[in-house]
A and B are shown apart, each in its own frame.
Chain A
Amino acid sequence: MLISTFQFNTTFFWHELLRPSSAFLGGLWRTVYISVIAQLLAVIVGLVVALARRSTLRILRGVAGAYVWVLRGTPLLVQLVIIYDGLAATDIYRFQDVTVLGVTVLASVQAAILTLALNESAYMSEIIRAGLAAVDAGQHEAALSIGMTPAQAMRYVVVPQALRFVIPPLGNDFNAMMKSTSVLSVIGVPELFFITQEISSSTFHTFEIFMDAALYYLALTTIWAFIQTWLEARIDRSWGIERAQRSWWASLRERFQDPKTLAIGRR
């Protein structure tokens, strides 16, 4: 005899989905801004590391290479615990809550942004390095031929062109970044996953609330996919390349169906 014990509290599910508690929204918001800030920092640090790896100075190349090697060769989770708990335990550095302009940034959030940014910068440096390498060598020479210094050639000619090759993999990394914020719960960052766990243990509606969380993560990555598609089309247009007119829906479906454009299980 099989009696269904499936109990799905539909009311709770819909309520938290459509009228999420302020705690839930706060978690969602932290997930978003931590991802965005960490990604932006990662792009800047990644560019510096990528340029260092192309440097004529061997020491600089070596240091940058070691940086990438270590950060890509160790788990994000381990890096996170070392930076937040490890540094504090050895009294090297203890993150403190800080208030700037009336906004309090939690110690754990600072550590989270720092760690995600460092971790991602190693991946970004490789992406940027590949992007720079994809720009035709003739472009650099053309810039030099009109009297630019190598630094000007890099800044005004090579880097802007590398963007076109960098945006697609960067977008995939940002998708992964938003999802990997869920590991931040181990150092107590009150982001979406952490809040969901709390709601789950206080209400016992584990299935419902995690389904809600999953839908919100999905919404974030989907919105990002739209932005990325728009960005790529915009860059193409700025090169005078018109893409075949496709519906948003078609390009979105393509993005999620093409395994190459998804960063699956990278972290």
Chain B
Amino acid sequence: MASFSSPSPASSVDDTGLVVHASEIHKSFASQEVLKGVSLDVVRGEVVVLIGPSGSGKTTFLRCINHFEVPNSGVMQVNGHLIGTKLDRQGKRVEASAREVATQRAEIGFVFQHFNLFPNRTALENVMLGPIKVQKMPKEKARTVAIDQLTKVGLANKIDRYPAQLSGGQKQRVAIARSLAMNPALMLFDEPTSALDPEVIGEVLSVIRDLANEGMTMVIVSHEIGFAREVADRVAMFDDGQIVEIGTPQQVFDNPTQARTKAFLSKVL
């Protein structure tokens, strides 16, 4: 693992190779502390799978990475930016504007458990929207990009379908294509297959596996242990707002050291 030096003062890309540097992230909702000091570094090209019981804070942590949730304390650096902040003219760190946060977020793909496709737009329009409105790409170019991405996820023949006319697995693949069209440096997946029928889980996992093989940096919340074993460089076990164990899939799945990991695995395996 590359070691982390203090955040680079400019908001240029960090040369440590770290795509995510999370340090001592604390997050509370009302009086409930959901994240109790989570630290995680993800290097470029790495795939980290987050496992752990429901309510342990996996989703909240993932949402802190792209600033959907704002940590109460801790450092969250993504693609070299301290997310949600910027340096003002005096070099003081201040809260970033909505537009600046959006720019930071454009480099982070987020795939939701329930797809969240735009139901009033076709598959193609779903994928084109980001490039057109955010990257200000000309329509024709965006169309080419979108068709490429949809082809990549195996939906070249479904580009004119509306979400209502697609199966769950197809919807999730469109959602992945929608994120990829923004050419992200990092992809976050929050239980991408847990809302799917068993027979279509495979087609979504295979798309994610292809991404891993291409070297995409990813943080994936998943309970698909077989899949995690295959694609993960590291697996992090969450429990009660903390990472209680982290290591290679072999270490975590085959030789867990923590009782809580053993207990969790005995339930999902």
Quote the shortest CB–CB distance from A164 to chain B (angstroms).
7
Tell me, yes or no, whether B264 is within 8 Å of chain A by CB. no
The 17 listed contacts between A and B (C-beta, < 8 Å) are A139-B116, A142-B112, A142-B116, A144-B102, A144-B105, A147-B105, A148-B133, A148-B134, A149-B102, A152-B133, A161-B119, A161-B120, A164-B120, A239-B120, A240-B165, A241-B162, A241-B164
State in angstroms the CA–CA spacing of A138 and B103 once bound together.
Answer: 19
Contact B116 A141 (CB under 8 A): yes
Give every chain A residue within 8 A of B181 (Cβ-Cβ): 146
Query: Do A145 and B120 touch across chains, with their CB atoms under 8 A apart?
Result: no
**Cβ-defined contact, A239 with B98, below 8 A:** no
- Min C-beta distance of A62 to chain B, whole Å: 23
A114-141 CB contacts (< 8 Å) to partner B: 136, 138-139, 141
Alpha-carbon distance between A241 and B182 when the two chains are bound, in angstroms: 28
Q: A145-B105, A239-B162 are in contact. Are A139 and B179 (CB under 8 A)?
A: no
Interface size on B (CB < 8 Å)?
A: 35
Chain A 139-174: CB-based contact to B (< 8 A → 1; otherwise 0):
101111111111110001100110010000000000
Please state if B68 and A141 are interface contacts (CB–CB under 8 Å). Answer: yes
Assembled-state Cα–Cα distance A26/B243 (Å): 76
A239 to B162, CA, bound (A): 7
Interface string of B80-120 (1 = CB under 8 A from A): 00000000000000000011001101111110101011111
Q: Which residues of A contact B (CB under 8 A)?
A: 136, 138-139, 141-152, 156-157, 160-161, 164, 238-241
> Does B52 count as interface, using CB distance less than 8 angstroms?
no
Q: How far is the CA of A150 from the CA of B99 in the complex (A)?
A: 8
B130 interface hit (Cβ, 8 Å): yes
B249 within 8 A of A: no
A240 touches B164 (CB 8 A): yes
